[in-house]
Amino acid sequence: MLINTCGFIQPAVEESITTILEAIKDAAEAPGTKPLIGVAGCLVSRYGQDLKDGLPEVDLWLNTEEIELWPGMAALALSTQVEDDAPRNLSTAPSYAYLKVSEGCSHDCRFCTIPSIRGPHKSWTVDYLVDEARQLAEKVPEIIVVGQDSTAYGSDLGDGHDLPTLFKGLAGIPALKWLRIMYLYPAGLTESLLTLLRETGEPFLPYFDIPLQHAHPDVLASMGRPFARNPKKVVDRVRSFFPEAALRTTFIVGYPGETDEHFEALLDFVKEARFHHLGVFPYWPEDGTPAAAMDNQVPDEIKTARRDTLMELQAAISAEIMEGYVGETLPVLIEKASDEWPGLYIGRTWFQAPEVDGVTYVSAPPDVELALGSIVEVEIEKADTYDLSGLV
């Protein structure tokens, strides 16, 4: 039983601990040979020895600094052998796979624990990643590039290793149908990169996940965000190259010192920018971060109220954007058959990333079976706040 954990903020820590405790209980009650329990990820890197002391039932602890050693450590715990050059097994749906291009982060955002947990930015080589992506593309139609800062890819490796070079290699894989890039820092979305993306065309999807975190320059300056403090410029630049682009972002509300005026500026920006997708998080004062030591902390009830207000605004914007697709025919990647009734499938169109965005429900005729992992043309007949529904 392998549990991949998050230790970024307190709610994630609590969820991870709850999951581990549930796994311990399930393992103890399992018939036959007791399964080994392995715990991996950020929680281990952040609280290693304390976890080991408090949860002796866990058989294997895997921290992110030893990620290359995980296969050998797991094999040793299971008393098996590691196969050299064994193909990667997928734990995702039969429609997509993540390609992690880098580990860690070298930015100094004052609210963030990632550099202390995962260390400085470290990239894998272009050849290694393109080879892995080529193998993945034989199994799934969509590859999703991820990293703490994807636009910083290769900055630690020197010539021949940067996001444009990697992107050219990935886009040239014949079997790949969709290529999505997540976690694009605003400063890295230069005109030269956007020109390359536009000229490449398929399989690149014009979906831009840009973690802005706030819109007011005073708050951004206090956060220590590593880019020019006018997010409107970034949004306008992307849309000047991709007028049809789907934009996703995340914001933190209730950061120390955030005033009503700062929050109103954020609301105004969201109204104007009209993001396809938006996530909102109340600020959490994490131990060891400079922001946690600031004097002007915002009360929890104000954080919660601001989150709810912003999400209510975004829900209305999302509903309007989704309604605009009614009557259009969109490509939809089929992920699974629904349990609601025969012939109903759940998929995603090009502006819906897995796990974080909405989905598209697809109805097929009784005599038609849609293959999981296939891309089909769907006529959109209905829109909800975040989801779409249509017919093949």
217-231: pLDDT as tens digits? 999 999 998 775 789
Distance between CA 349 and CA 324 in Å, rounded? 14
- Is the alpha carbon torsion for 101, 104, 107, 110 positive or negative? positive
- pLDDT level of residue 91 (50, 70, 90 thresholds): confident
Lowest mean pLDDT among 113-117, 138-142, 357-361: 113-117
Which residues share a beta bridge with 209?
A: 248
Which residues, in sequence order, are CB contacts of 203 under 8 Å at separation 6+?
171, 176, 177, 178, 179
Mean pLDDT of 158-182: 93
- pLDDT level of residue 159 (50, 70, 90 thresholds): confident
Mean pLDDT of 141-165: 92
What pLDDT is recorded for position 249?
A: 97
Q: Which structure tokens are listed for 267?
A: 């609301």
Known binding residues for [4Fe-4S] cluster: 105, 109, 112
> Taking 70 as the threshold, does the pLDDT of residue 380 lie above it?
yes
Backbone angles phi, psi at 75, to 5 degrees: -65, -40
Known binding residues: 105, 109, 112
What pLDDT is recorded for position 228?
A: 59
What pLDDT is recorded for position 265?
A: 97
What pLDDT is recorded for position 287?
A: 87
Q: Which structure tokens are listed for 320?
A: 């309007």
The CATH fold of domain 2-78: Rossmann fold (3.40.50)
What pLDDT is recorded for position 375?
A: 97
What pLDDT is recorded for position 123?
A: 95
What pLDDT is recorded for position 65?
A: 84
Q: Give every strand in the sheet of 96-100, ordered side by side.
A: 96-100, 142-146, 178-181, 204-209, 246-253, 277-282
Q: HSE on the CB side for 289, CA within 13 Å?
A: 24
Distance between CA 287 and CA 116 in Å, rounded? 11
Mean pLDDT of 55-68: 91
- Is the alpha carbon torsion for 111, 114, 115, 116 positive or negative? positive
Boundaries of every domain in the chain = 2-78, 96-323, 329-391
Span 293-311, pLDDT tens digits: 999 999 999 999 999 999 9
Query: Which of 345 and 159 is assigned the larger pLDDT?
Result: 345
Q: Domain 329-391, what architecture?
A: Beta Barrel (2.40)
User: Measured between alpha carbons, how far is residue 19 from residues 14, 39, 113, 335 in Å?
Assistant: 9, 10, 21, 25
pTM above 0.85, yes or no: yes
The CATH number of the structural domain formed by 96-323 is 3.80.30.20
- pLDDT level of residue 117 (50, 70, 90 thresholds): confident
> Taking 90 as the threshold, does the pLDDT of residue 79 lie above it?
no
Span 333-372, pLDDT tens digits: 999 999 888 899 999 999 999 999 999 999 999 889 999 9
Residue 166: Cβ-neighbour burial (10 angstroms; 0-12, 13-18, 19+): buried
What pLDDT is recorded for position 83?
A: 74
Span 186-208, pLDDT tens digits: 988 999 999 999 998 899 999 99
Calculate the average pLDDT of the chain: 93
What pLDDT is recorded for position 311?
A: 97
- pLDDT level of residue 319 (50, 70, 90 thresholds): very high
> Taking 70 as the threshold, does the pLDDT of residue 84 lie above it?
no
Lowest mean pLDDT among 10-14, 125-129, 225-229: 225-229
